[in-house]
Amino acid sequence: MWKDPIVEETRKIREKYAASLGHDLDAIFRDIKEREAKSNKKIVSSPPKRPRHKSKRTA
């Protein structure tokens, strides 16, 4: 199976980051929120999208 080198590199970085926080999801979440707070970048939040309903066809 072909492996994308960019995907592989991304997975390695993600694994290293998760391992640095003990694979603790709460710790990862806190770290991400702390990084957001320290960042000078604008955080944009979009409202959830409503699912599209398929139109019913009449036979």
Within a domain: 46: no
Looking at the domain assignment, is residue 53 inside a domain? no
For 29, the domain range is: 5-38
Domain count across the chain = 1
Q: Quick check: is 16 in a domain?
A: yes
Q: Is the pLDDT of residue 55 over 70?
A: no
pLDDT for 50 equals 86
Q: Bigger pLDDT: 1 or 56? A: 1
* 48 falls within a domain: no
Q: Is residue 23 part of a domain?
A: yes
Is 20 part of any domain?
yes
DSSP string covering 1-59: ----HHHHHHHHHHHHHHHHTTT-HHHHHHHHHHHHHH--SPP---PPPPPPPPPPPP-
Confidence label for 58 from pLDDT (cuts 50, 70 and 90): low
- Each residue's pLDDT tens digit, 5-49: 999 999 999 999 999 999 999 999 999 999 999 998 888 888 888
